[in-house]
Amino acid sequence: MARPKRAIESEGDNGGGEQAVVVKKKSENDTAGGEQPAVKKKKRWSGRMLNSGKKANATTVANALQSRLLSLPPEIRNRIWEYALDGGTLHVGFNYSRTLSESRTIQPYSVGVWICQAKISDHEAAATIRHGSHATEIAGHVSRHSACATYPQPADAFRQYSVALLGTCRQKHSEAALLPFKLNNFSFDGFDGRAMRIFVKRLMVVQQKSILRITLAPSFSMRYSHDPLKPLAGLQDATIFHEQPSREWAGSAVVPTNGLRNVVHMFRSAQLAHATVCIYSRKRTTIQGQRLPSMSDPVLYGPLYQEMEAKLLKQESGVDEAASKAGSV
């Protein structure tokens, strides 16, 4: 018995990144008038960016001509895409879920992105710390962003960053696909580099190169990071918030600076146009009527800021010396 023949016909792109494929089976019964019904199968989206150079189908052309939004001048459309996709600072970290006991449990390898809700932006906090005008009220990086963490609940859905706009039609995708990476500042929170490595690894090369600004809060455990900045070839600006234990905790011993030193090593491989280093400590305390000195004093760290930033940008090998001063001041 002869094997049935298969004929595949393509219906073309429907404008949403999917392609419907009609599979027809031909057998000996077809000659007798018993044609079998066609079976439709849809190719799943592979997760890749749409090919903007592909020949547009009838739906794409009709959208460009009939849509009032798409018929606007390109400069106006680009401004609209920027307003819609510019979230300011985006936190990148592991998603958390609540159990029946209301405890926070981590979902392995589930990295989420949500919009920063802090009242004071990282840029404002960095300027405040560096100018020494924070006195005793400045909060640490983790404390300022403690309310930004989101949970998978309907009430918190507005905090999550969405790129649903890019999936509505081919023209919007081709014009604004890289704007989420170019416009936003990515803040990698947490006490290690796992979330950062997972997030960067899942991006395509063109997306990795489009990230321009990041914020890091290094810690001791970041020594296990394996140069996650290397794929970010287009990185231009980086801000480091490094918290040092105050003298009432550390005494006269050298304060450990492994987290800061390892972040400095990562920045050596990046061609940065600007780097900001913010070193601060916990809130000053008072014991028996005497206020203890804190390492957030700008008199101590003012020259250190300039020295570390200069060596970061010049890719000099003496950055370790500047970083070690944070523990010997």
* Mean pLDDT of the region 85-95: 85
Residue 95 has pLDDT above 50, yes or no: yes
b/e burial code for range 37-57 (CB count within 10 A of at least 16 → b): eeeeeeeeeeeeebeeeeebe
**Shared domain check, 264 and 197:** yes
* 253 has a pLDDT exceeding 50: no
Residues 81 and 44 in one domain: no
User: Residue 29's Cα: distance from chain center in Å?
Assistant: 57
316, 250: one domain: yes
Cα 36 to chain centroid, rounded: 50
Residue 210 has pLDDT above 90, yes or no: yes
Dihedral pair phi/psi, residue 182, rounded to 5°: -85, -30
Beta bridge partners of 25: 6
Helices (H) and strands (E) in the chain, counts: 12, 11
Arithmetic mean of pLDDT, 20-26: 48
Least confident window among 216-220, 222-226, 272-276 = 222-226
Of the pLDDT bands very low, low, confident and very high (cuts 50, 70, 90), residue 212 is very high
Alpha helix positions (H), 6-135: 58-66, 74-85, 122-131
Residue 87 — φ and ψ, nearest 5°?
Answer: -100, 5
203 and 288 in a single domain? The answer is yes
Name the nearest CA neighbour of 49 among 186, 183, 167, 168: 167
Residue 18 lies in domain? 5-66
User: Which residue, 253, 249, 250, 205, is CA-closest to 230?
Assistant: 205
Residues 122 and 161 in one domain: yes
User: What is the tens place of the pLDDT at every residue in 143-201?
Assistant: 788 777 655 454 455 567 888 889 888 889 989 999 999 999 999 866 567 788 888 88
Domain count, the chain: 2
Predicted local distance difference test score (pLDDT) of residue 245: 54
Consecutive H or E run containing 196: helix 194-202
Per residue in 112-148, pLDDT (tens digit) is: 788 888 888 888 887 776 665 544 455 677 778 877 7
Q: Are residues 160 and 186 in the same domain?
A: yes
CA distance 311 to 264: 10
Q: Kindly state whether residues 302 and 226 are assigned to the same domain.
A: yes
Choose the weakest-confidence range: 105-109, 258-262, 266-270, 305-309: 105-109
Q: Say yes or no: 171 and 320 in one domain.
A: yes
pTM greater than the 0.85 cutoff:
no
Based on the fold, state whether residues 58 and 127 are members of the same structural domain.
no
**Domain-terminating residue out of 49, 66, 83:** 66
SS3 content of the chain, % helix, strand, coil (to 5): 40, 20, 40
- Looking at every residue in the chain, the average pLDDT score rounds to 66
Radius of gyration of the chain (CA): 27
What is the spatial distance between Cα 314 and Cα 182, in angstroms, rounded to a whole number? Answer: 24
Percent of the chain with pLDDT over 90: 11
Record the tokens describing residue 194, joined without a space.
Answer: 């796992």
The CA distance from 289 to 322, in Å, is 34
Q: Are 16 and 45 in contact (CB under 8 A)?
A: no
Same domain, residue pair 14 and 154: no
Per-residue pLDDT band for 204 (boundaries 50, 70, 90) equals very high
**Three-state DSSP class for residue 273:** coil
Task: Please name which of 194, 293, 302 lies closest in space to residue 246, comparing C-alpha atoms.
Answer: 293
Q: Are residues 119 and 43 in the same domain?
A: no
Rounded to 10°, the helix 298-314/319-328 angle is 160
Q: List, for residues 29-81, the tens digit of each pLDDT value.
A: 555 555 666 655 554 444 455 555 555 677 777 777 788 888 899 999 999 99
Q: Does one domain contain both 171 and 281?
A: yes
User: In the chain, at which residue ranges do the beta strands (DSSP E only) sit?
Assistant: 5-13, 19-26, 39-42, 89-98, 104-115, 185-188, 213-216, 237-244, 274-281, 286-287, 290-291
